[in-house]
Amino acid sequence: MRRHRQIALLGFPGVGKSSLAHHFVYKQFYNEYDPNIKTNLHYQCVIEDEEYDLVIVDNAGSDQYTLNHSDFDTSDAYIIIYAIDDRQSFEMVSKIRDKIISTSPTTRIPMVLVGNKIDRKDERVVSTEEGRLLAHAWNIHFTEASAMNLEAVKKLFEKSIYAINYLDPTEDTNEDNSIEKHTNEKNSSSFRNGFNKKQNGNLSSKDQSSKTICIIS
């Protein structure tokens, strides 16, 4: 039986949400986006012998759209992104998390905090330790990434998928109550290149979707 999983990318405008999503799907760095378009990227995935339909919701919009879109109560996991060279984007993540919690029907919410744009280390204004401490206080996953580094991009999506399975009461999980430990034990898995990329051309200017297939082994 194929399982459906939806992951929402949230963050201040310009932190690299679209670049992360598109590099993961198409294996190419994506540096341009339309702030008025919400993109759904669809995958058929095999994860440790389990089949999944994975949907990545890329909310590339404005502040108001980021905090009020309709996907807060329909996503299975949330990747909250800030840019390490943008202090304001880091301050925004607490508001985003509060919005997720206030709209979620459950207290078991898989989340990953991501410090993006580590390729701009000379312009860093948010330290790795600040991000790590905040994620630790929230008891969620943390990682830093660059949308230009495919392996780092794969890692953050991998963390979100395992976070979903760890917090899902229908899944068999490790009894250890450390979410991060559980994920790290699974990180030997890797994403192979996607294939069968497909664009849907009959979508409105406000919502675009694409499909591909990946295998996690």
- What is the tens place of the pLDDT at every residue in 35-58? 556 778 887 767 667 787 888 888
Q: What is the pLDDT of residue 139?
A: 93
The pLDDT value recorded for residue 79 is: 94
Q: What CA–CA distances, in Å, run from 83 to 90, 122, 149, 199, 217?
A: 7, 13, 15, 29, 30
d(CA 91, CA 80): 12
| pLDDT score recorded for residue 37 | 66
Which tokens go with 92?
């925004």
- Give the chain's domain count: 1
Minimal CA–CA distance to 38: which of 67, 9, 12? 9
- The answer to whether 92 and 100 have CB atoms below 8 angstroms apart is no
Q: Tokens in use for 191?
A: 């994403």
Q: 46 is in which domain, residue-wise?
A: 3-216
pLDDT given for residue 52 in this prediction:
76
pLDDT digit string (tens) for 140-158? 999 999 999 988 888 888 8
HSE-CB of 39 using CA atoms within 13 angstroms: 19
Q: What local confidence, expressed as pLDDT, does residue 124 receive? A: 98
DSSP state of 35: T
Residue ranges with strand state E in the chain: 3-11, 38-47, 50-59, 77-83, 111-116, 141-144, 195-199, 207-216
Q: Using CA atoms, how far apart are residues 97 and 89, in angstroms rounded to an integer? A: 13
Intervals of the chain under pLDDT 70: 30-37, 45, 47-48, 60-73, 168-217
Are the CB atoms for 90 and 97 separated by under 8 Å?
no
CATH code, 76 = 3.40.50.300
